[in-house]
Amino acid sequence: MENLFELIIENATTYYPDETNLTHMKNALGLARRLIEIEGGDEVIIIPAVILHDTGWHIFSPEDEVRARKPSVQLDNIILNHEHEAEGARIAENILSKLDYPVADKKMIVRIILGHDTRVKPISMADMIVKDADRLSRYTPECFDLFRVKLGYSKAQFLELLNANTEKWFYTDSAKLLARRYLLEKKLGIKLKTGLAGKLYALLAQLEGEVSKGVNVDIEEIILTFVREKIHGVKKMIEIYLINCPWAGLEYLQQDDRFIDIATQAVGDGGYIGIIDRQTGMIIFHPNKKIVNMPLEELRKKERPPEYLYGFWDWYNRALSGEEFSSYYQGMNIANEIVDKFQYVIPLDIGNFKWAIVCAAIYMDFFKPTEIITANILQSVREVSDEVGMLASGLEDANKQLREEMMQRKELEEKLIKTEKMAVAAQLAAEIAHEVKNPLQVINSVVYLLKRTIAENIPGLQTPLKQISDAVTRANGFINDLLNISRPFELVLGVMDVNDMIKKAMDELPKDILVNIDVILELSDGCLEISGDIDRLKQVMINLIKNAVEAMNTSLEKRLWIESKLDDGWVRVVVRDSGHGILNENIDKVFDPFHTTKPKGIGLGLAICKRFIEAHRGSIELTSEVGKGTEFVILLPSLNPQLRIAP
């Protein structure tokens, strides 16, 4: 298949005018292969669709962009296709026809290309992956810089935008994860696996599908919490210092080494605490003494030119207004280099002082491995580990909840399937009862009449008449099974002894069914009273015994065990055989309606047994081993429930 894909690329390349567009196609192709690995999907359709999806676009020149976007098909002002999509579909049709591509696959590929930009709702998993691969390749390399630099988005704003829009941009969960991971790595400037601490990466790697929506692992929020606590701690220290030194003025404080240590302490490798006088606008405490007390205009022109420092003067003006906030901006480090920074600013009003305390840190300091993040940013690695542990615990709980929800969903789906089967059975039973049962009664009546009138006078007629009668009996049995499994029924309850019920069921077995079988009957000595419908329970026992006998047809040693006893307030009945056993893959299906491995029968016997037992608020389970036999265990609530433990 790869050789055929190479031929498609070779033919498609002529429609890509430059290396940039060819690179986009190759990147999209790589992403599509990765999505196929994660999501599944038919590469026979997806790979050619990705290779060919933009061929129609590139036959238009940049000047013809308006024409390329002109509606090709439009209905009630809703654009269904663009011209470039229609051209791409024609090119794909020609290339794939020339390569004798399978007709059905070609049709699906052309259909995907025909609406890959305009179609709002994907038509298939293949369509989803083609759209995701296209968008991942186009948007993720550029969109962070686009929003952050060109449109002035902060990192927080961008993350909010990303989370809101990945739902709209991408269709599969894996594509959303790939986009978010790529952008996170780009923002951090590191690879997640090697650049973040092991615990944090393990958390990020596990966030997928519904769990990622239910659990918010926000590294920034963790850091922001500690930075906020850090700066409020510094503010408290300054307030205590000034309260204890009410006579100290600004000039004194700027010469006091103890106060300077508090007001300019380091944060991370390149960050610091600083203070701005909101009344004069001047920086009054800063590790770089050169800019302390510098007039604002001089600071703007010589030290912090706005044309080179994105966002610096925006936050500075907010700080002068007395606002508490956090932001991202470009500033200078102590070595006078432009760096991305993060800061938290709070106002301080005490006495005659109206200040803004600034906790500024180098942007990348926040995303270093937790082992080397300084105590000034996060107070201590231990606290971060505790926080991570809490997140891990939360994630584990969320995963557990998700697993439980998935299990419940699976059970509901299985119940739905069984319900649908029941509905089919009900409809089928009604039709059969109407169409078949009456003719069967006529046949049975005719057979009875023939036996009474002419059969004795015609040699050899008794045998075929008996065969007809037996066949009618079996057919009536099938119909009754269908009705039993599908229609509502009411139990005729009465106090009964389970041992008596077992004996009566054995008496009603077909004649000679237990010939050559060693029956071991181990019934409890005491009376095992329950509230039950004896006819329904006899039918269960007869069904189980018949199944056991059939399972021993080819066995050399034929043994049937039937046991009863009181067990923790439940009446326990066991039917065990020495037959061929049940394959593991069939054990979970034995109680499903219409499941059968027998050449005869319609697979309703055990389903009926389960229905009757559960109607008695009991349970029926089985264990089986191939070559050794099968055991059915029935639990029914005893009339003496004091010692009963749930089965």
Cα angle 87, 92, 93; round to 5: 100
Average pLDDT over residues 124-149: 71
Q: Are 373 and 384 in contact (CB under 8 A)?
A: yes
Q: What sections of 170-311 are H helices per DSSP?
A: 173-188, 192-195, 198-206, 209-214, 219-244, 250-253, 257-263, 296-298
The residues, any chain, with a CB within 8 Å of residue 394's CB and separated by 6 or more, are 215
Q: Are 234 and 262 in contact (CB under 8 A)?
A: yes
Phi-psi region of 297 (alpha: psi -120 to 50; beta: other; left: phi over 0): alpha
Is residue 593's pLDDT more than 80?
A: no
The residues, any chain, with a CB within 8 Å of residue 595's CB and separated by 6 or more, are 586, 589, 603, 607
Q: Which of 91-95, 154-158, 571-575 has the highest mean pLDDT?
A: 571-575
User: How far, in Å, are 42, 202, 614 from residue 39 at the CA level?
Assistant: 10, 21, 40
Nearest to residue 51, comparing CAs of 39, 43, 61? 43
Instruction: Report how far residue 82's alpha carbon sits from residue 114's, in angstroms, rounded to the nearest whole number.
Output: 8
Average pLDDT, the chain: 75
Q: Is 424 helix (H, G, I), strand (E, B) or coil?
A: helix
Task: Write out the H or E segment, with its range, that includes residue 568.
Answer: none
pTM listed for this prediction: 0.36
Q: Are 227 and 377 in contact (CB under 8 A)?
A: yes
Mean pLDDT lowest among 261-275, 411-425, 498-512: 411-425
Is residue 92's pLDDT more than 70?
A: yes
- What does the pLDDT look like over 110-134, one tens digit per residue? 888 888 777 766 778 888 888 888 8
Average pLDDT over residues 321-338: 73
- What does the pLDDT look like over 9-39, one tens digit per residue? 888 888 877 776 778 788 888 888 888 888 8
Is residue 212's pLDDT more than 60?
A: no
Nearest to residue 203, comparing CAs of 391, 404, 400? 391
What architecture (CATH level 2) is domain 2-188?
Orthogonal Bundle (1.10)
pLDDT at 634: 94
pLDDT band at 348 (very low <50, low <70, confident <90, very high): very high
Cα dihedral value 362, 363, 365, 369, nearest 10: -170
Q: Are 45 and 105 in contact (CB under 8 A)?
A: yes
Domain ranges of the chain: 2-188, 221-379, 403-486, 494-643
The residues, any chain, with a CB within 8 Å of residue 101's CB and separated by 6 or more, are 4, 48, 109
Instruction: Report how far residue 30's alpha carbon sits from residue 9's, in angstroms, rounded to the nearest whole number.
Output: 13
Is residue 493's pLDDT more than 80?
A: yes
- What does the pLDDT look like over 35-61, one tens digit per residue? 888 888 889 999 998 888 888 877 777
The residues, any chain, with a CB within 8 Å of residue 483's CB and separated by 6 or more, are 429, 433
pLDDT at 389: 54
**For 267, phi and psi rounded to 5 degrees?**
-135, 110
Look-up: residue for tokens 């701690």?
A: 233
Instruction: Enter the CATH code of domain 221-379.
Output: 3.30.450.20
The single-letter code of the amino acid at 283 is: I
User: Positive or negative CA dihedral for 160, 183, 199, 329?
Assistant: negative
Superfamily for domain range 494-643: Histidine kinase-like ATPase, C-terminal domain (3.30.565.10)
Is residue 349's pLDDT more than 90?
A: yes
pLDDT band at 214 (very low <50, low <70, confident <90, very high): very low
Is residue 357's pLDDT more than 70?
A: yes
pLDDT at 370: 36
Nearest to residue 58, comparing CAs of 97, 23, 88? 88
CA terminus-to-terminus distance, the chain: 55
